[in-house]
Structure 1
Amino acid sequence: MATTALLLLIVLHLLVATAAAQRKLPVARPGCRDRCGNITVPYPFGIGAGCYRVEAGAKSLRFELEWFPLYRVTSCTGIGCCQSEIPSGIGFFEPTIRDFPRGQEGFSFYANSTPCRYVFLVDKEWFSYTDSVFLNRTDDFDVPVVLDWAIRNVGNCSAARQNTTDFACRGAHSKCFSVTNGLGYRCNCSQGYDGNPYLEVLDGGCTDINECQLKGDYPCYGVCNNTQGGYTCQCHPGTSGDATRKDGCRPKDKFTLALKVVTGVSVGVFLSVFMCFWLYLGLQKRKLIKAKQSFFEHNGGVILQQQMRSYSGTAGGGGGGFKIFSEEELEKATNNFSADQILGRGGHGIVYKGVLEDKAVVAIKKSKVMEATETKEFAREMLILSQINHRNVVKLHGCCLEVEVPMLVYEYVSNGTLYHYIHGGEGLDNNKALDPRLRIAAESAEALSYMHSSASPPILHGDVKTANILLDDNLTAKVTDFGASKLAPNDEVEIATLVQGTCGYLDPEYLMTCQLTDKSDVYSFGVVLLELLTGKKPIRFDGPEEGRSLVSGFMIAAKVGGHYELLDNQVRNEMRPEALEEITHLMMRCVSMSGEERPSMKEVAERLEALRRYQRHPWGQAGAGDPEEGQSLLGREQQRDVNYKFKPQDVLDLEEASTYTFSL
């Protein structure tokens, strides 16, 4: 029974295995039978003459299963798991198997453990033992067997290719493989091709496989395109991914890889540049903060803050008091110092109109330069100037110290400067009568007198001129630009101070001594008074050299009695001779070359106010009133002759000192 079962198993599976080895090949040569019963016989095997390759190898196969009284066994012993490989490279192999009787000594356990009695040849690549498959089976079952064969008339492929006529691998896509089990070779179709590698292409040899038609073996869930030896499988348009897998294609991301790379690089570069720029701005900001702090300390900001705290209510930052502004506040107030906000330009700087956060309108002076010596007392001067509260002095609201040259914030005066009042448009005309001129002169003198005599300590202006006298809508005079002001020295020894005055107004004695005194302001005011009454500029650059200076020209004219002709028509027509002589006398004293001979600003203010009262009094009108009463109003005794002695230094390059008599 065992012998019969094994024999049938071997014969059946040997033939099946032969077909299985070439299961996809066209089987026979053209004109030859390819089947024997239900067994397919492929070439180089064949049925009938001319249908097989004669040199195929072994001429016969013999399988025998007999009982031999042999007890020698190999390592193949056991229950159900016994297997032994057929050695390679042999010409003949005869396996022998034996069933031990149940009563055999030493084998009773094995014999009684299972009723199975079967043995089979099987492909070792297929065989994998499990109890559930092979243990206690009593039915018939099939297992695959592979016939290991080769063309063995030569040793290997290299030797076979030397004889192209007898070379078994036919066609361009039939590849030769040397066998490892002894000598010989076999043929297979190249990857992507199918057919019988031993036949020509036209006879059914290796041809291209259309993988797109074999979706079971070559799955493609997209667009399949067959190629020679292969195929391509791509996702449908608008999708991307792996089309060989089900659900492997996804809607295509419009953000392509290239775009992602470019975007990533761009973002990286942008972030790097941004970080560098941010760090740069941070460093610049720190540098700016340090610079502002340095300027603030250098300009006396710390000292000023300490002094402001000591003044609690009067010098605080709120109300109408003094305030230290930041640069940002002033930039915002002037629209970043826009040219549209400029009120005026001067040799010392530019004045801007600004609107603070509390809607207060101010004038902001942005100076160009400041002497190093000025910064030492700047804080003290600013605080003292901020305490001045006089109707004819422009109020100093504050300053900005965190810049190289401090900026000053003044009250805004809306009607321009006295310079423009005199010289703007058509100059002085009939609408600019005498009384407003006298009032402007008196108010300006009063402001300077207050600074010299009433302020503590006294304050010197240093740059008195018509451009620094502002007028409001009522033509009220307000003296400004005390940024160049100096505190008068406390001791009796005058300290030399450098002031950037204005040509035509600058004290000639100061030019020789470099000492600024209160009499320097008196001289400059004398020029302003002369300019106000003549309507002429203090310096002109045409005409004879001796007449280019208004002061010099007036003195020269006075020498020959022609100085009245230089006065404005309104002044000559409206002023009484006494008042005209008085104001002429006052102007000449103010512009004296010697400071000792000049009156004080207090005296000047008093004389101008007396002249104004006299001129406004009914007796002071031209041709009216009692002369003695007029002299009383002028504040001095009646004199028939007023003698004024000119010295050589008074009239620069005139003749020796002479005495001129003005008759009333």
Structure 2
Amino acid sequence: MNSAMGDEARAWLLALVGMLLAGAASAAAEESTSIAKPGCQERCGNVSIPYPFGTTEGCYFNDDFYISCNSTHYDPPRAFLTGSTIEVINITVQGKLRIMQFIAHDCYNRSGAPVSSNTPFLTLSKFRISDTDNKFVAIGCDTEATIQGIQDVQGYISGCISKCDSIDYVDNHTCSGIGCCQTSIAKGVSYFELSVGSYNNHRGVWDFNPCSYAFVIEEKMFNFSSSYLRDLQDVTVMPMVLDWFIGNETCETVKAKGMRDACQGDSTCYNVDNGSGYRCKCLDGYEGNPYLPNGCRDIDECKDPNLNNCERMCRNTKGNYTCFCPKGYHGDGRTDGTDCVAIQSGSLVIQLTVGLGVGITALLAGSTWSFWAFKRWKLIKLKHKFFRQNGGLMLQQELSRRDTSTETAKIFSAEELEKATNNYDESRIIGRGGYGTVYKGTLSDGRIVAIKKSQIVDESQIDQFINEVVVLSQINHRNVVKLLGCCLETEVPLLVYEFITNGTLFEHIHNKSKASSMTFETRLRIAAETAGVLSYLHSSASIPIIHRDVKSTNILLDDVYTAKVSDFGASRLVPLDQVGISTVVQGTFGYLDPEYLHTSQLTEKSDVYSFGVVLVELLTGQKALCFQRSEEERNLAMYFLSAFKQDRLSQILEKCVVKEAKIEVVKEIAKLAKRCLRVKGEERPTIKEVAMELEGLRIMVKHHPWGNHDEPNLEEMEYLLGEPSLKLGSNAAYDSMKDHVILQVGNGR
């Protein structure tokens, strides 16, 4: 894996890692208990191999934990993950796996001609990139860098820009955009690809910075130095951290199904937050390897004064310890308790003891009522504080200022919603998004509702909360999720919606078992209903509303597959006399309007572009997630337009669409999607026009269910669609996509 890197550069990196791990290695050397299964290899070169990992069959938990120890080509031997080229440099039983990963570079000569470049990538079949331990870093004075890949099942893209005109402006130990920039890694990333480029081919900065670099690195391993602008040319890999875990089930599911549990001895199971499985850890008071029988050993806290709070005498127990006093003393023997006090004789001591006991009893009895009264007063005051903190006054002003009524919205108490969700039990969670967590609840009158709870309390979250209440209070439409009420007296704001039973459109499109039950006619109806409600928001609401986050995960379905548009947290109310709004770019990559992304000018045509992507998803189905990424096909929109231009539309369509739909009808829908995906907003149709054309197609399909070889009446088709303008050149939309921003399809909220 590292043959391209010089010995000096590799020695520098491993020395850096060694300094960090020196303390842990020293402690491990003092332990005589094995970390591997009996009879199995415990080390590969300088790397310890704790179970559930192993180097030979029978020594590891399953194939995900196989470590290939290559002693043929390396001395000392080197460890590689599951027989791949991913070099392992450290493994901990706490769920961390350190590896060496290639860096991206882009180099030029003095005249600005390219010398060398690369775009490394990392694909993991099981484990995840640690979002808490790593950072994405770019180095250079003429540098733009991106990291894109897969986050769980959705697309993921991020990046940063670093510029400077002189090395004099570059500060050591500071990575803030001048010579060095960095950004966080998202949770759930199992694949990524790094790319780095230059704006001016490093002309003007070549003397001290001939290359741009980008890499993912363990954060505490990285300390920026201005010398890196030149000295990284011989370094090809950097250390990064993976999160490892067992299986794909939670602890509760493993226990309920009676499945094999990897946790052994005095250990317990806990769920991971970056992945889909679980890990094991020794119980409090124990240490060691929880994956081995008897691997967790009792800690003798009495041997180390830093581990116990005993004043004089300490006795070790299983998983704990006790303090006691020597003869002639009384007390609990703890420094954080009553310590050890010498016992005194005489009646005075007895009298003082009795008097003190009576006094304490009277004091406790007298203060009990005051305590409960104070506690109730404090709770009422806290609820008032939360009401103000959660924007209650702002919400009242917004609603009173607008021509709307909130008589049907109920103000729920905190106690009522806690009871409805069993105190927000994790088993009640039905969704997570960028603005909060959604719980399923049952009200006292038996109604099943969805309760949205914000993740954190800060100014931006409160603005989103207030905006969603104001927007939804103005909407009364059968295809919009109905707002039933809100709660303002808790630490985080809460919204209560009607419960939509059948999940999201994304699940029904991309889940193989669910997609088979969605006919073409149903898909067309869902598209028409969604376009219709967006047309209502744009044209019929008292103040036009731009959704800004139209995507298949924000379209819910009820039992009869009626579309219900949800998640208005990013919506904006638009004054009737204002064509566009300048705003901070919000939305989901893959659905974002490229014109909005560049200009930050928000118009209704931004929703038209996002709806066009949803329309493509309805046509392509599961194939939308597995298309080949060529240079021209970096996201779903560009993939669709490329296929349309090359006349291979039938190759990317969902099976049911090919089987059930007339090809001419599908082409009309595809042409409509193509118009929606034009880069320039002024060239796109309005959502009202889109809704009318889809409704015309839906009526035509419903009343004229031709077979695949029947010819429709084109004049009647044009009459039902409202206009003959669908007959566009197949290259029109694709040509306008040449400067399209490269985005990833995503389903995050």
TM-score (norm. length: structure 1): 0.52
Aligned mate of 1:636, from 709, 713, 723: 723
1:223 maps to what in 2? none
Deviation at 1:594, TM superposition (A): 1.7
Deviation at 1:377, TM superposition (A): 8.9
Aligned mate of 2:510, from 392, 414, 423: 423
Deviation at 1:484, TM superposition (A): 2.5
Aligned mate of 2:573, from 472, 479, 487: 487
SS in 1 for 2:453: strand
Are residue 433 (structure 1) and residue 433 (structure 2) matched?
A: no
Are residue 394 (structure 1) and residue 477 (structure 2) matched?
A: no
Structure 2 CA distance for partners of 1:639 and 1:506, relative to 1, 3 Å: closer
1:151 maps to what in 2? none
- The one-letter amino acid paired with 1:581 is K
- Kept in 2, the 8 Å contact 1:585–1:644? The answer is no
Are residue 581 (structure 1) and residue 667 (structure 2) matched?
A: yes
Deviation at 1:404, TM superposition (A): 5.1
Are residue 296 (structure 1) and residue 382 (structure 2) matched?
A: no
Are residue 534 (structure 1) and residue 620 (structure 2) matched?
A: yes
1:362 maps to what in 2? 449
Alignment of 1:276-295 (within 5 A): 289-295=380-386
Structure 2 CA distance for partners of 1:311 and 1:324, relative to 1, 3 Å: farther
Q: Select between 603-612 and 624-633 the one with higher mean Cα deviation.
A: 624-633
SS in 1 for 2:513: coil
- The one-letter amino acid paired with 2:599 is T
Alignment of 1:416-565 (within 5 A): 416-426=503-513, 428-429=515-516, 431-492=517-578, 494-498=580-584, 500-536=586-622, 543-544=629-630, 546-565=632-651
Structure 2 CA distance for partners of 1:369 and 1:501, relative to 1, 3 Å: farther
- Kept in 2, the 8 Å contact 1:334–1:352? The answer is yes
Structure 2 CA distance for partners of 1:606 and 1:277, relative to 1, 3 Å: farther
- The one-letter amino acid paired with 1:645 is A
Are residue 594 (structure 1) and residue 677 (structure 2) matched?
A: no
- The one-letter amino acid paired with 2:526 is I
C-alpha distance after superposition, 1:428-480 (max 9, x if no partner): 22x32111111111111111111111111111212111111111111111111
- Kept in 1, the 8 Å contact 2:677–2:733? The answer is no
Deviation at 1:564, TM superposition (A): 3.0
Taking the aligned partners of 1:313 and 1:453, their CA distance within structure 2 comes to 17
Structure 2 CA distance for partners of 1:341 and 1:616, relative to 1, 3 Å: same
Deviation at 1:424, TM superposition (A): 2.6
Deviation at 1:587, TM superposition (A): 0.8
Taking the aligned partners of 1:566 and 1:278, their CA distance within structure 2 comes to 73
Structure 2 CA distance for partners of 1:347 and 1:653, relative to 1, 3 Å: closer
Deviation at 1:427, TM superposition (A): 5.0
Deviation at 1:345, TM superposition (A): 1.6
SS in 2 for 1:484: coil
- The one-letter amino acid paired with 1:495 is I
Taking the aligned partners of 2:451 and 2:585, their CA distance within structure 1 comes to 21
Structure 2 CA distance for partners of 1:313 and 1:423, relative to 1, 3 Å: closer
2:200 maps to what in 1? none
- Kept in 1, the 8 Å contact 2:471–2:568? The answer is no
- The one-letter amino acid paired with 2:416 is E
Structure 2 CA distance for partners of 1:424 and 1:573, relative to 1, 3 Å: closer
SS in 1 for 2:583: coil
1:607 maps to what in 2? 693
Deviation at 1:260, TM superposition (A): 11
- The one-letter amino acid paired with 2:527 is A
RMSD: 3.8
SS in 2 for 1:344: strand
Deviation at 1:346, TM superposition (A): 2.0
- Kept in 1, the 8 Å contact 2:623–2:654? The answer is no
Taking the aligned partners of 2:625 and 2:361, their CA distance within structure 1 comes to 62
Taking the aligned partners of 1:402 and 1:408, their CA distance within structure 2 comes to 12
TM-score (norm. length: structure 2): 0.47
- The one-letter amino acid paired with 2:388 is E
Alignment of 1:154-165 (within 5 A): none
Deviation at 1:314, TM superposition (A): 4.7
2:702 maps to what in 1? 616
Higher strand share: 2
Structure 2 CA distance for partners of 1:300 and 1:427, relative to 1, 3 Å: same
Taking the aligned partners of 2:507 and 2:640, their CA distance within structure 1 comes to 22
C-alpha distance after superposition, 1:260-302 (max 9, x if no partner): 9978756755776788898777667655544442442354423
C-alpha distance after superposition, 1:349-396 (max 9, x if no partner): 211111223322211111225773675696576245224221111111
SS in 1 for 2:685: coil
Deviation at 1:556, TM superposition (A): 2.2
- Kept in 2, the 8 Å contact 1:363–1:409? The answer is yes
Structure 2 CA distance for partners of 1:653 and 1:387, relative to 1, 3 Å: closer
- Structure 1 residues without counterparts, runs of 5 or longer: 1-256, 655-664
Are residue 326 (structure 1) and residue 413 (structure 2) matched?
A: yes
- The alignment covers a number of residue pairs equal to 393
- Kept in 1, the 8 Å contact 2:430–2:439? The answer is yes
Deviation at 1:623, TM superposition (A): 2.7
Aligned mate of 1:410, from 472, 476, 497: 497
- The one-letter amino acid paired with 1:474 is V
Structure 2 CA distance for partners of 1:282 and 1:631, relative to 1, 3 Å: same
Deviation at 1:637, TM superposition (A): 3.5
Deviation at 1:608, TM superposition (A): 1.0
Larger radius of gyration between Structure 1 and Structure 2: 1
C-alpha distance after superposition, 1:14-43 (max 9, x if no partner): xxxxxxxxxxxxxxxxxxxxxxxxxxxxxx
Structure 2 CA distance for partners of 1:619 and 1:364, relative to 1, 3 Å: closer
Structure 2 CA distance for partners of 1:307 and 1:410, relative to 1, 3 Å: same
- Kept in 1, the 8 Å contact 2:505–2:557? The answer is yes
Taking the aligned partners of 1:639 and 1:531, their CA distance within structure 2 comes to 20
With a CA cutoff of 8 Å and minimum separation of 6, indicate the structure with the bigger relative contact order: 2
1:340 maps to what in 2? 427
Taking the aligned partners of 1:639 and 1:495, their CA distance within structure 2 comes to 30
SS in 1 for 2:601: coil
Deviation at 1:644, TM superposition (A): 4.6
- Structure 2 residues without counterparts, runs of 5 or longer: 1-346, 742-749
User: Percent identity at matched positions?
Assistant: 49
C-alpha distance after superposition, 1:141-187 (max 9, x if no partner): xxxxxxxxxxxxxxxxxxxxxxxxxxxxxxxxxxxxxxxxxxxxxxx
